[in-house]
Structure 1
């Protein structure tokens, strides 16, 4: 029964591989180009914003997006007063922004600006493209309330100045017909038309002016989509060109293929046949992850791909833990089948514990992260689920199948790379005295942390626009120097810019203020025309900046609290304290290195820090699990520490290497967009590996030793008073 169930599950997963091949996976803007904007929504009359207002705003924006002809737009309500819009393939922010954020409130007024009629007299969706008597583009309007329209036009025809002025988004105390000299010029005025009324009428009407065909089409789309019931304030925006996104996708996929291929090679080289089965498991893991992601309608982004590759490292860790445990049992003279049974049984708790602690981090990221970070967290959660299912269940049963044939019973080296060397000499890692040497590592890392702290306090971190607010540009061209970029910005009126080189073709520019859309277009066009460059731009307001900083601090604290609770529950409070101190070390170590080398800190950096926290606690929990197991045998604490670290050292190094492989591949071949993320991951993975060995474990030893000493301190005993005849 179990065998049949396993076989059915395996066939289903393989079959699922074909579905994403024929069904397009949704790619994010950073992979296919497009325009993203975040609006803060407020009521028109400064009253409390209601959920009905948000829903009405959402519907109006949806209609306007539909008029743009965008395929698969993403419109999301975030929190209680924000709307995020992602439009793939749209790279003209100025035009799209006008259509999306314009209130589009049509009003009919006299020449003294008194309101005569609102748009309620018109038929819903009744605006259309027409031409006037001279063949010029005009907007036709269908009248719904004929009686009202007749009464108003009848009254106006008798006015000294018998004109009806049609306004779009008339603003009190700002707009006035008396000071308007360009009525009909959409670029410079909200006044659309001033029509002379010579007689009362109740038929359809035309708005005429010096409109182009494109302007008439825009007006028709705005009027038909309805007026916005709220005000929209732009908080942040980002533009990615299609070629830039496609290039990022190609680079990231190349890095992924290289990383996975090397990992498979390492597994097969070290674990032979079992490594081959684990490699097949990796492919099944990838299929399952993509299928689940496709099934839930996930949007694949660069951070999401980075999360997938990190998940591969974690999936490999599950196999390495089991295989190393099997080797230990083979050393203890167990048969291959018995070693397999005991090895998988003993490694299961470590695998579950380490993945749950990483899941805690992923949940925190998903709840508190912004759009790109949520995508990263979603992929991480799917990866954790797939790791448990494929690596623990499917790979285990595949190996068990082959063991039942008895073919490998005397071929242990070929099966799992185990060589039964007859020697009494302990392996290198088990001969090392970790407790004796940990102080050297603590001194070295403390020096780096101190330098980083001093630089951070005195000079600050190199914060991106995400945290400082302002506008940024990523300029990519074959031949362009930093000197030419600075000269171009000076020519465009910007003397104070922050410029940094990403790679040999890409440069990053920060401007400390939010630019108007027209200025962003001017800068982009300048570099496109002069240097044939692709330009990606973005802007972030101070409101978003403050929220990002708050969420970064809150998410880190919540992740720490969640980990403390879980580790305390599964182990002891001493383990939790030691683990958290190691995590704080890892996080601050990365921050220190970024401060020392002035590497830019952006939004996705927070995801990197929390992922490092997840990986580090994963690594630390595996070590703690072994310490707990050895400590149950009532050995001396120093012997427990040294033995536990000795037998887990190979696994820690191998897991770190296999996790670093995709990160290094992304650094060398991946997109410049996630370069800083991968730098943070590279530094953090190394810090996490040695902190679980030389920081977390010694801290647990110190805490536990002190507690034992206190429990053994003899209390002063008062001698019994002897009284003759009573107790003597």
Structure 2
């Protein structure tokens, strides 16, 4: 008796040291995250800013070459440096597109002008004939100066003195001996005769300056006019950055006011914290002490994810935060799979230490397979997605990889520390939520008493499941045929105008305002008491964007965000969306075929299309807007749904080998192996779905308006995904496998499934 008490005291002491160690490390990691979070680069949707997509065209109308694109890229880069923007994003897309994102820019119009203006400086006579171009000037030689009256002016340093002298001497000998300096002269629209009255007014004319030349000279040139100090500074910066070798045409643009970005960040942050807190509470309720340690593992997971994201120079956006929250759900899924396996071993009477080892070993490949399929979807998203989707994909890729490292190794190591102490050997309820009376004592030849869902026959009801899904598909086809999808401007083209004002706004008044500006309103939507969103068919030009912003500022003292999408972008978005879904499906079929069999792959892909179609059905029935980020949601569901399906398939494969000894002799055996597998995995599927839905629901209720449709799509997809993995995918596999029963080659069709990769064994973690 005394020996037992001594052992218990020793075990109690042995748990204190690792617990304190884990808590100290967790506190250190938590504190280290604060400066890390402060140093992250936030996207324009979180801090405000400006984004524009340019179509690059050659000045002479010929095909744009790679050298032209490189030169244009470098010129844009120089000009953005002038703005002082930290971490700008300049991305070449395709053969003739450049996307520029400038987070934190307060004056989008200034940025627009500086980036897209050709800045071709020319010297002409009063008849508009070219005398010389800017190649006579020193590169970067423009500087702020003053004219003879002390007014702001621009001084230009001459590089080719002899050429400059000959040109000015030629002008001095003309009857009208005036030299005109132009910025971006267009022979079709510009003329000195029409512009001379405004010459020298940078805001009203491209004619910068006109001067009488009495004799040839080779000294520096002064551009003087009615310039303000700010105009002179801008002109100097523009000239020094160099002229663009190409013509830039805006095909889409987006402006986010800083206050909107800050509001989105705070809302999404609160929603994320609430969602993660919900996950932690659920994990602790279900798995007690192990759930608490897994929650600390989540802290490590989040810290490492942010660290990797920061190291690669990632820009955190709203979709990126959503991807992180999904990643947390997936990380929890990995833990749930392991804990479910450990509990299963304990219910079989295995001692805790061995149950921990076996549970981790048996869950490794399930976690690996389920995360690889998500990784496939994320990579395809990154390749074919537009900017906001790429941000989502980047975070999802990092989250998936970190999940496989942190949750498989670090969390297991942490839990293993406490298993080794022996303290929880007779405290299974406190350790992982199992009542001791449910654990059979093998030495007394007791049999397993805990059986979840043992009276439920999933397979026998499969025709009803097929019928229910068929009815939903028919409803979906009818709805899509009659209602179609409520496509956002990302897919239709047009402009989105968000107006925020403390004055009393109404949808009716704003619609009239838009119509008075000459645009047709597609829809208006009230976001909150002070903010409204208006969609119009027109793709606004730069001038129209500025006019619209000024109109609402003057009338309502409102801040205005305007996003513009052209038909060119719309067509590419639709094309890339279709390609993404097709490629993701093909890649997943190939992977599942290699890891399982082709029958499993076909059943899985049908279930995937079922899930995707259900999302389209719900969005069509309720006319929820479909935007570009919707595609990211669909591909996320493809990754998640196959994740859930693979867990079920993995258990079916295992039970064929262990419980049926690779001998499925009858159709009843086929049905029984599926029933057993579904009973064993259903709790895990439900827990995973709940833990994943918690942050999604939190983001829907508390998060930013901009990603609400994305989260709605995820909500529908997650619910339908768990339904299809249980009631569709596994049942379809039965139908496909029936014909093999009783045939001479029957062994081969499931023996192929036994080629399972052994888990990597790491001492101290799973060995």
Question: Which category of TM-score, normalised to the shorter sequence, fits these structures?
Answer: over 0.9
* 2:118 aligned counterpart, secondary structure: coil
- Rounded to whole Å, the distance in 2 between the matches of 1:702 and 1:27 is 50
Query: CA 1:448–1:507 in structure 2 vs 1: closer, same or farther (change >3 Å)?
Result: farther
Query: CA 1:591–1:504 in structure 2 vs 1: closer, same or farther (change >3 Å)?
Result: farther
Query: CA 1:125–1:10 in structure 2 vs 1: closer, same or farther (change >3 Å)?
Result: farther
Structure 1 counterpart of 2:178:
163
Q: Cα offset for 1:503? A: 4.8
Would the aligned equivalents of 1:108 and 1:117 in 2 still touch at CA under 8 Å? yes
1:464 aligns with 2:488: yes
Structure 1 counterpart of 2:158:
143
Within the candidate set 597, 611, 633, 1:586 is matched to: 611
Would the aligned equivalents of 1:138 and 1:207 in 2 still touch at CA under 8 Å? yes
- Rounded to whole Å, the distance in 2 between the matches of 1:339 and 1:556 is 40
Q: Cα offset for 1:567? A: 0.3
Query: What do residues 422-453 of structure 1 show as CA deviations (whole Å, max 9, x unaligned)?
Result: 89877452321112223333333333332332
- The answer to which of 272-281 and 19-28 deviates more is 19-28
Structure 2 counterpart of 1:40:
55
- Rounded to whole Å, the distance in 1 between the matches of 2:180 and 2:744 is 90
Q: Cα offset for 1:384? A: 1.3
Would the aligned equivalents of 2:26 and 2:296 in 1 still touch at CA under 8 Å? no
Structure 1 counterpart of 2:461:
437
Query: CA 1:322–1:712 in structure 2 vs 1: closer, same or farther (change >3 Å)?
Result: closer
1:474 aligns with 2:490: no
Q: Cα offset for 1:341? A: 1.6
Structure 2 counterpart of 1:231:
247
Q: Pairwise mapping of residues 265-284 of structure 1 onto structure 2 (< 5 A)? A: 265-284=281-300
Query: CA 1:135–1:284 in structure 2 vs 1: closer, same or farther (change >3 Å)?
Result: same
Would the aligned equivalents of 1:33 and 1:241 in 2 still touch at CA under 8 Å? yes
Would the aligned equivalents of 2:179 and 2:210 in 1 still touch at CA under 8 Å? yes
Would the aligned equivalents of 1:60 and 1:227 in 2 still touch at CA under 8 Å? yes
1:358 aligns with 2:387: no
Query: CA 1:144–1:295 in structure 2 vs 1: closer, same or farther (change >3 Å)?
Result: same
- Rounded to whole Å, the distance in 2 between the matches of 1:598 and 1:471 is 19
Would the aligned equivalents of 1:64 and 1:99 in 2 still touch at CA under 8 Å? yes
1:648 aligns with 2:681: yes
* 1:418 aligned counterpart, secondary structure: coil
Q: Cα offset for 1:43? A: 2.3
* 1:509 aligned counterpart, secondary structure: strand
- Rounded to whole Å, the distance in 1 between the matches of 2:212 and 2:485 is 63
Would the aligned equivalents of 1:40 and 1:81 in 2 still touch at CA under 8 Å? yes
Q: Cα offset for 1:682? A: 0.6
- TM norm structure 1: 0.93
Would the aligned equivalents of 2:182 and 2:207 in 1 still touch at CA under 8 Å? yes
Would the aligned equivalents of 2:500 and 2:531 in 1 still touch at CA under 8 Å? yes
- The answer to which of 411-420 and 81-90 deviates more is 81-90
Query: CA 1:502–1:429 in structure 2 vs 1: closer, same or farther (change >3 Å)?
Result: farther
Gaps of 5+ in 1: 1-6, 714-728
Would the aligned equivalents of 1:34 and 1:91 in 2 still touch at CA under 8 Å? yes
- Rounded to whole Å, the distance in 2 between the matches of 1:707 and 1:484 is 68
- The answer to which of 59-68 and 486-495 deviates more is 486-495
- Rounded to whole Å, the distance in 1 between the matches of 2:461 and 2:358 is 32
Query: What do residues 220-275 of structure 1 show as CA deviations (whole Å, max 9, x unaligned)?
Result: 11111111111112121111111111111111111111111111111111111111
Structure 2 counterpart of 1:606:
631
Q: Cα offset for 1:209? A: 2.7
Query: What do residues 391-411 of structure 1 show as CA deviations (whole Å, max 9, x unaligned)?
Result: 111111222221222111111
- Rounded to whole Å, the distance in 1 between the matches of 2:745 and 2:216 is 104
Q: Cα offset for 1:490? A: 2.8
Would the aligned equivalents of 1:35 and 1:239 in 2 still touch at CA under 8 Å? yes
- Rounded to whole Å, the distance in 2 between the matches of 1:316 and 1:277 is 12
- Rounded to whole Å, the distance in 2 between the matches of 1:443 and 1:507 is 43
Query: CA 1:437–1:91 in structure 2 vs 1: closer, same or farther (change >3 Å)?
Result: farther
1:173 aligns with 2:197: no
Would the aligned equivalents of 1:430 and 1:642 in 2 still touch at CA under 8 Å? no
- Rounded to whole Å, the distance in 2 between the matches of 1:504 and 1:658 is 32
Within the candidate set 732, 739, 744, 1:699 is matched to: 732
- Rounded to whole Å, the distance in 1 between the matches of 2:310 and 2:745 is 59
- Rounded to whole Å, the distance in 2 between the matches of 1:194 and 1:705 is 90
1:514 aligns with 2:539: yes
Query: CA 1:183–1:53 in structure 2 vs 1: closer, same or farther (change >3 Å)?
Result: same
Q: Pairwise mapping of residues 121-136 of structure 1 onto structure 2 (< 5 A)? A: 121-136=136-151
Q: What count of residue pairs does the alignment treat as equivalent?
A: 707
Structure 2 counterpart of 1:671:
704
- Rounded to whole Å, the distance in 1 between the matches of 2:643 and 2:514 is 47
- The answer to which of 518-527 and 407-416 deviates more is 518-527
1:417 aligns with 2:426: no
- Rounded to whole Å, the distance in 2 between the matches of 1:232 and 1:16 is 47
Structure 1 counterpart of 2:76:
61
* 1:430 aligned counterpart, secondary structure: coil
* 2:112 aligned counterpart, secondary structure: helix
Would the aligned equivalents of 1:429 and 1:650 in 2 still touch at CA under 8 Å? no
Gaps of 5+ in 2: 1-19, 441-446, 747-767
Structure 1 counterpart of 2:386:
370
Query: What do residues 324-361 of structure 1 show as CA deviations (whole Å, max 9, x unaligned)?
Result: 11111112111112221211111111111101111111
- TM norm structure 2: 0.88
- Rounded to whole Å, the distance in 2 between the matches of 1:534 and 1:626 is 56
Would the aligned equivalents of 1:244 and 1:534 in 2 still touch at CA under 8 Å? no
Query: CA 1:210–1:454 in structure 2 vs 1: closer, same or farther (change >3 Å)?
Result: farther
